[in-house]
Amino acid sequence: MVPIPSEARLFTGDVTHAPDWDAVLRLFQPSQIVHLAAETGTAQSLSAATRHGSVNVVGTTQLVDALSRAGYIPEHLILASSRAVYGEGAWGFGADVFYPPPRTHAQLSAGHWDPKGPDGVSAAPLASAASRTEPRPTNIYASTKLAQEHILAAWTAAHGAGLSILRLQNVFGPGQSLTNSYTGIVALFARLSRARQSLEVYEDGRILRDFVYIDDVVDALFAAVRQPSTDARWFDVGSGVSTTIHELAAMTARLCGAPDPRVVGKFRDGDVRAAKCDIRAAVDELGWRPEWALEDGLLALLDWIDNQAERTDVPGDLSVLTS
């Protein structure tokens, strides 16, 4: 664990428990609140909907209720949201844009990976941007993150507080759980490759993601803190670079000297085909820019894994390869 700075005060509690919020607000009344607490399992949320709804949605309503009970309105709230709120996002064919419905089990079983445009025409994914892309969640986790956004947008508008919502792409880096497969594909691939296992790549290997290193995300959050908003604003935070899952697997295997990855054609219900984002709003308005390339971040993650004092067995659940 990273040492806590002497200037910081640590209060351990439960975001769904009202007395814990009340106790915190009796101790101090911050001018800004950064809301990070969340359950984050995309596939896991399908079988743990109550837990995701409780932590993500009720945890957020408990926050604003506690502020109301305390009679205190912070100047600015910051929410770590997710690219998952976009669902499949917007796709384009020619000059036209459409929003495909969630991919069905039957579609995936037939190996029809890419959404099709009207009349079955081929289409390509477009970079999501909060200013132009409609949120259309396709899983329970994503729905709870969008609910967080709506709750805080309504509360801050009614109370005259500023709000910054950062929709994060696939975050990775040191500090990720190495025993919970649901915390992300990069850590899972790193663990398996370090064990010299051949990586299984789902679908046709061309699932698309934007992997952003944790230090860049922290920098984006601090940029929002340093430049508080007086109203509501949304930003997309990623590396700005799209990577296929096969490219990620091949890079990880190469760095670890592991066997070549295998494209196995398996799939996971609820996964979106492509996730990519336009980071220009964050760059222009916050003065933020990602600094970490994917390979550099992978090397840092692998170095951290190698230096963990306590080693555990490689997770056996490989059904979470695109979280």
Known catalytic residues are 141
Residue from 201, 184, 205 nearest 114 by CA: 205
Which are the contacts of 185, defined by CB distance < 8 A and separation ≥ 6? 170, 209, 245, 248, 320, 321, 322, 323
Would the CA dihedral through 266, 267, 273, 277 be positive or negative? negative
- What is the residue type of 303? D
Q: Dig out the tokens for 149 from the structure.
A: 């956004």
C-beta contacts of 313-317 below 8 A and 24+ residues apart? 314/191, 314/192, 314/195, 314/197, 315/179, 315/180, 315/181, 315/188, 315/191, 317/181
Residue from 270, 244, 66, 263 nearest 155 by CA: 66
Which are the contacts of 86, defined by CB distance < 8 A and separation ≥ 6? 128, 133, 134, 135, 136, 167, 272, 275
SS3 7: coil
